[in-house]
Amino acid sequence: MIIKPSRLAQRYVRAFLLRMASENRGSVAVEYAMLMLPFLTILFAMLETGYMLFISILMEGATSDAARQVRTGNIQQAEEPLVLFKRTLCDNMFNVVKCDDLNINVKAFGNTLKSPGNFAPGSAGELIVVRVSFKFSFVTPFLADILEASPNGGDGTVLLVSNSAFRNEPFKN
């Protein structure tokens, strides 16, 4: 009995496919490979979101401590008020974020002449608003894509802002 080569190839391919369909030794490796990328993406997104919240909480505390120095008049009585304010703020950030990356804005609302720039700590009894912001960039592509779809994002960053508003205590000018 002579078998045509096309029939032989067809029989060989069918036997191979039946053998592969019944084989299950590599199924765990294939399932693991399929699920590893989404699992790692979600894991890194959770870690990065936690890190962003950690920076936000750290910035809130540092802003509160630096604002306290303005409120009590320690900053205004220093020789270089802006340098002392930045040092107080940056010391409380514990080098988690570079101090140069923080945007500092201190505004006085009262009778004081407004100083040029973003730093006007005011005098005794004036209303002061301290605002510190930081642009946090995501590394995880999943989160950056979500932010690009949001109306606020677009560049894969989030603006973290910490505010403190108060009236200066009475101190000697």
Quick: pLDDT tens for 104-132. Answer: 999 998 755 556 678 989 888 899 999 99
Q: Is residue 70 part of a domain?
A: yes
Collapse the DSSP code of 78 into the 3-class scheme (helix H, G, I; strand E, B; otherwise coil) and give the result.
Answer: coil
Note whether residue 77 is domain-resident: yes
SS3 content of the chain, % helix, strand, coil (to 5): 50, 15, 35
* Rounded distance between C-alpha atoms, residue 109 and residue 168, angstroms: 11
Q: In sequence order, what are the residues at sequence separation of 6 or more whose Cβ sits closer than 8 angstroms to the Cβ of residue 135?
A: 101, 103, 157, 158, 159, 160
Q: Quick: pLDDT tens for 50-94.
A: 999 999 999 999 999 999 999 999 999 999 999 999 999 999 999
Query: Residue 7 contacts by C-beta under 8 Å, 6 or more apart in sequence?
Result: none
Can you give the pLDDT at residue 147? Answer: 65
Query: Is 49 a member of any domain?
Result: yes
Confidence (pLDDT) at 109:
84
pLDDT given at position 6: 82
Per-residue pLDDT at 157: 82
Instruction: Determine the structural domain holding residue 121 and report its residue range.
Output: 43-167
Cβ pair 62, 89 in contact under 8 A: yes
**Is 36 within a domain?**
no
**In this structure, is residue 24 part of a structural domain?**
no
Question: Count of domains in the chain?
Answer: 1
Average of per-residue pLDDT values in the chain: 86
Q: How confident is the model at residue 4 (pLDDT cuts 50, 70, 90)?
A: confident
Residue 159 has pLDDT above 60, yes or no: yes
Query: Does residue 136 contact residue 156 with C-beta atoms inside 8 Å?
Result: no
